[in-house]
Structures are given as C-alpha cells and as structure tokens.
Copies of this chain bind each other. A is one copy, B any other.
Amino acid sequence: MDHSSLCEMCLHRRWSFCGALVGKSFEQLNNQKGWEQHRTARSGERVANCDQVSEEVLVLCKGWACRFFMLPDGRRQIFNFLMPGDIFSAISVFQERFSFTVDALTEIQITAFQRTEVKRRLSLSASLWAKWIDLVADEVRTADELMVALGRRTAEERVGYLLLHLVRRMSAKGLADKHRYRFPVNQSHIADTLGITSECVCRMLSRFRRRGILELSNGYLEVFDFDELERIGSPRRWS
C-alpha cells in the first residue's frame, strides 16, 4: 500500500460521521500529527485483514471496496460494499482487531484515524455519538435485510434486492448520472454477497435485461424500470 498524502481534499469530509469527526469544534484540541493518515491502494488490493490487530479506524474516501469473510476453504461471504464516505465498520471503533477482510474494487483512497483519538472525540461530543449510532443502525438494518434475502428469497429477488439497495445508496451519495451509475461490482461479487453462483447471477441479469428492467455491462449499471425493480427487490415486498 502506498503511503502518500494524496487525498488532501478528501470528499468524505463533507459527509456526516467523518465530517463531524474532523469538524471545526476539534481544531483547538489535541490535533497531533499522525492522528489522520491518508493512503491509496490499487484495484484488487487487500486493505484490511481478518484477525489483524490495528490501532486504526479506516474510512474509504474515494473508490469502492468490499468487506467480507472468507472460510478456510475459500468460500467467501461479502457483507457489504463500501462507497466514498463509508467507515469500514462502525463497531470496529471499539475493537482492537478486524473481524473481516476488505479488498479494493477500484483504485481507492483511505483515511486511517487513530482509534484512541476517535474514541476520545466520541466521548467529547454528543452529536458525534449520535452520528456514530446512526451508522450502527444503518449497518444493522442492512445486515438484517441481507439475512432475509439470503435465508428466504429466490435468486431473482436477491439480485433485485442488491441492485436496488446499491442504486439507492449511490443516489444518496450523488454517484448517479440520471439513471446511469458507475458500477465496479462484478458478477462474482454479487454472487458472493447473495449466496449464489456467478453463473446464476448472469442468468438473472439477462432475465432483467430481456424484460427491459436494467442493463449491467462494462462497469455501468443503467436502470430503465425502477418500479419493476422495486417490485422484485424491495426488502419488504414479494415478487
């Protein structure tokens, strides 16, 4: 991993938790050098390792990554995809070792904060606490939805759910151009998130394509029939 200081203008500063973490109210505080470190990594690089002890809280500030667990025989379960502004895992602020692995899906930039200092700032600011709790709540909701998908929904519903979920997150982050999205997630990633094979994902995608619902190719996702996608994939409806 390259230890340059490239991301001076890290976009993540604008977003809720990270923005508050580095906010003005802390300027006068113990702002020692090294409490915030910037790094970059290339597509495919591993940027956090399961069981690794770390004094850092990692935040993705540019690009995409995925957070997963790998069984010793190679089976992989992806928990979620990280987009700019996302903390790797909210609870990891209070855990000395990672319980997951993270791989970059694109070129990425990361900010690494010192865990002790993050905790100190949390203890000093009620509004920062509130934002952290919102992050935890989001992660719990996402995990619950994925569990429902994995346990009780068909392959078609699962793929619909995941694409819908990601499209909503991208829109919320302003990563959309109309209904067209940069989408660096390939079919094995989708498969390993949804508990199916990449061939099955491919078949579901071509089914969607044939029905004019969406098009996913060459790293771009375009949604033509959002209503239909919701009918298939909404976490609260059936198909």
Contact = CB atoms under 8 A, between A and B. Distances in A.
B195 A151 contact: yes
| Copies of this protein, total | 2
A168 interface: no
A154 to B, nearest CB: 10
Given A95-B137, A136-B136, A73 B150 contact: no
Contact residues of A: prevailing secondary structure: helix
Interface string A227-239: 0000000001110
A73 B239 CA distance: 10
Contacts of A150: 147, 150-151, 195
Interface in A88-140: 89, 91, 94-95, 99-100, 123, 126, 133, 136-137, 139-140
12 contacts: A69-B148, A72-B236, A75-B152, A75-B153, A75-B238, A77-B147, A79-B147, A91-B133, A99-B141, A146-B147, A150-B150, A152-B192
